[in-house]
Amino acid sequence: MPGVRSESPSPEVSRVRMALPTASAKIASARAKVGERAKTPANSKAKGRSDAQEKRGRNGRLVPSLGCMSSPPLVPIGPDSEKRRCSWITANSEPHYVAFHDGEWGVPVHDDRMLFELLTLSQALGELTWPSILSKREELREIFCGFNLVLVSEFSENKINLLRSNGIVPLSEQKIRAVVTNAKQIQKVVEELGSFSNYCWSFVNHRPIANGFRYARQVPTKTPKAEAISKDLMRRGFQCVGPTTIYSFMQVAGIVNDHLSCCFRFQACSQHKASEK
């Protein structure tokens, strides 16, 4: 148009034009970050919330949140997990040892054949531990004819030497001979007193002794009562029946209840009566 001339842009306009590309770049960068967050399955905040969802139950076990229920629990939960046992039974104890503690140890026994078996197992403690003995229990029952007093008492010298030489019995020769000798002596006791049970239980007036110890260190290895029984057995011709062996026998036969007072078996064994069979 006439009278209008072209002029170069002012410095303010130039600054606005140069700033526009920079603002666009910032917007694009922000959009990219939003996209990356959308693709990420979980961030640190989400993880923190997930960890916070784990709560402790009443029994102290960790209870996973609903989002973690598909994974196995941190602590295995079993039907007997809440039962308190004697402190020598641990989470690493062998199952047959735990079953022996829960079902037999400390339960009053009045059957002569079973008392003979438990006396033999107690004698083996001098060479083996309870878990080892229990793992060989069926083998011992087979070797000693189910602990039949008559059959074992008839073992000949050749039979004893065969058992010793074959090495199939997890006992020393002295203990093998003691088993045979004790079977003979128990039969004499039966002839005199009517049963081996009557003889054993007469030392405690036919009532189990319940000690109720709180700690394992309080449980003795022998007592004056065990020494008295041991002395009388030796007088009668029994072998390998020292006070320590006899006290172990008294524990397993329920003549004495040495379950710790906090153990769930203490009350259960205390409720048994000596007259029960």
Q: Average pLDDT per run of 10 along the chain, which is 277 residues long?
A: 42 45 51 53 45 42 32 35 85 94 94 97 92 94 96 94 83 93 98 97 94 94 97 97 97 96 90 53
Separation between Cα atoms, residue 9 and residue 273, nearest integer Å = 114
Alpha-helical segments (H) within the chain: 11-39, 44-52, 95-103, 112-124, 130-135, 137-143, 149-153, 157-166, 173-193, 196-202, 224-235, 243-252, 264-270
148 phi, psi to nearest 5 deg: -75, 120
Task: State the sign of the Cα–Cα–Cα–Cα dihedral 68, 74, 76, 79.
Answer: negative
**pLDDT reported for residue 201:** 96
- The binding site for Zn(2+) comprises 86, 101, 259, 263
Query: What residues contact 59, with CB distance under 8 A and at least 6 apart?
Result: 82
Residue numbers belonging to the annotated binding site = 86, 101, 259, 263
Strand partners, 256: 209
Q: In whole angstroms, what separates CA 229 from the centre of its chain?
A: 31
Which two tokens mark 177?
A: 């001979």
Which pLDDT does position 247 carry in this prediction?
Answer: 97
DSSP state letter for 7: -
| CA triple 127-133-139, angle to 5 deg | 115
Nearest 5°: the CA angle 42, 44, 48 is 100
Contact 275, 207 (CB under 8 A): no
User: Hey, where are the domains in the chain?
Assistant: 107-270
pLDDT digits (tens, 9 = 90+) for 181-190: 999 999 999 9
CB-CB contact of 269 with 109 (8 Å): no
The DSSP result for 145-188, as a single string, is GGG-HHHHHT--HHHHHHHHHHT-SSS-HHHHHHHHHHHHHHHH
Amino acid identity of 228?
A
CATH class of the region 107-270? mainly alpha
Q: Residue 106 — left, alpha, or beta (φ > 0 → left; ψ -120 to 50 → alpha)?
A: left
Q: Which residues contact 91 (CB under 8 A, 6 or more apart)?
A: none
- Report the relative pairing of strands 209-210 and 55-56 from DSSP bridges: unpaired
Any long-range contacts for 34-42 (C-beta under 8 Å, 24+ apart)?
A: none
Give the pLDDT of residue 54.
Answer: 41
The verdict on pTM exceeding 0.75 is no
